[in-house]
Each structure stands twice: as structure tokens, then as C-alpha cells.
């Protein structure tokens, strides 16, 4: 029961975080040295989507999960960017390699929720500083309601991290006892 709940939370969080990560990629930033930060958020959301699917369907082949992780940023590139970009090619390659490594590790250790745990913790580490800064600035200017989505995303990633951690590290102990 907790595995299905974790998988659904992971899929929901991945969709919300993917939306905000994609939106952050197209937000103007005067500091161009940090252009890769929104890509990390989008890549972690893609990994969380793969982890949620792997948690829900642990018998799925790793190849399909890696192909899904490759297809999402490639489709994003074709639909939105439409021009060659070396940093985005590096981003696609790194998403594929990280997905392959984590899915292979999770399969070898027979703990599919580890992928979701790694992705949700990285998403939480990515979005928590943003949400704390948003809360601090909105509290000082009294515009708290305008920033509720970012704070809700951070809370969602924290809940998903806890659920995926419980699922990943509790499931193995139960099998040993049975």
C-alpha cells in the first residue's frame, strides 16, 4: 500500500516540479553564469517521474525507463528550443546517464524506490532554498499568497522524500524478516 502511495506522490510531484522547472528555464535571469540551475530542476523532475514509475511497476525493464528519460528532454528540445544548443545536449546526456546509473543500481540492489528517493531529495535540495527566499521576501512585502505555489512545491517534495525513503529502506527489511 505504501509503495503505491509513494509512486503516486512521486508522479504528482514530478509533474508539478517539471512544470516549474520548465518554466524556470524560460525565465529571464540577468546572471547568465547560472543558466544550468533550471536544467538541474527539470532533470531531477524527470528522474522523479522515472522513479515513480519504477516504484509503481518494479518489473518494468530498465531500458524503457532510460528511453523515457531520454525522450522527455528531447521532446522538450524539439517543441520549445528548436535550435542546436551544446549545453542542452550535455543536459540530455547527463539525464540519460544519471537515470541509467540510478535505475541500474536500484535494480541490482532490488530496491526500485531508491530512484525516487534520490530524485526527491535532489528536488528538495533544489527547491527549498528558493522557497525559503520566497517566503522571506514575501513576508517582508506582505505578498504571501502570490508565492504559495513555490512553497507548496517544496512541501510536496519533502513529503515525497520522506515517503520514498520509508519505502526504499523499509521494504528490504520486511523481506528479510518474512
What is the enclosing helix (H) or strand (E) of 162?
helix 148-177
Give the model confidence (pLDDT) of 79-120 as tens digits: 887 777 888 889 899 999 999 999 999 888 888 888 888 888
Nearest to 79 by CA among 25, 143, 127: 25
| Residue 31 pLDDT exceeds 90 | no
The ranges assigned to domains in the chain are: 2-177
Q: Compute, in degrees rounded to 10, the torsion defined by CA atoms 146, 161, 108, 68.
A: -20
Give the model confidence (pLDDT) of 40-52 as tens digits: 888 889 998 999 8
Give the predicted TM-score (pTM) of the model: 0.80
Amino acid at each position: 500500500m505504501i509503495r503505491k502511495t509513494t509512486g503516486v506522490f512521486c508522479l504528482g510531484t514530478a509533474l508539478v516540479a517539471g512544470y516549474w522547472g520548465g518554466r524556470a528555464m524560460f525565465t529571464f535571469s540577468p546572471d547568465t553564469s547560472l543558466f544550468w540551475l533550471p536544467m538541474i530542476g527539470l532533470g531531477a523532475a524527470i528522474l522523479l517521474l522515472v522513479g515513480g514509475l519504477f516504484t509503481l511497476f518494479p518489473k518494468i525493464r530498465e531500458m524503457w525507463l532510460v528511453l523515457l528519460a531520454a525522450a522527455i528532454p528531447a521532446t522538450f528540445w524539439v517543441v520549445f528550443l528548436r535550435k542546436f544548443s551544446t549545453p542542452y545536449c550535455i543536459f540530455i546526456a547527463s539525464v540519460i546517464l544519471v537515470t541509467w546509473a540510478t535505475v541500474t543500481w536500484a535494480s541490482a540492489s532490488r530496491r526500485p524506490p531508491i530512484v525516487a528517493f534520490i530524485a526527491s531529495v535532489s528536488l528538495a535540495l533544489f527547491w527549498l532554498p528558493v522557497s525559503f527566499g520566497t517566503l522571506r521576501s514575501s513576508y517582508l512585502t506582505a505578498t504571501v499568497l502570490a508565492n504559495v505555489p513555490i512553497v507548496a512545491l517544496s512541501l510536496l517534495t519533502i513529503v515525497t522524500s520522506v515517503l520514498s525513503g520509508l519505502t526504499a529502506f523499509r521494504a528490504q527489511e520486511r523481506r528479510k524478516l518474512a
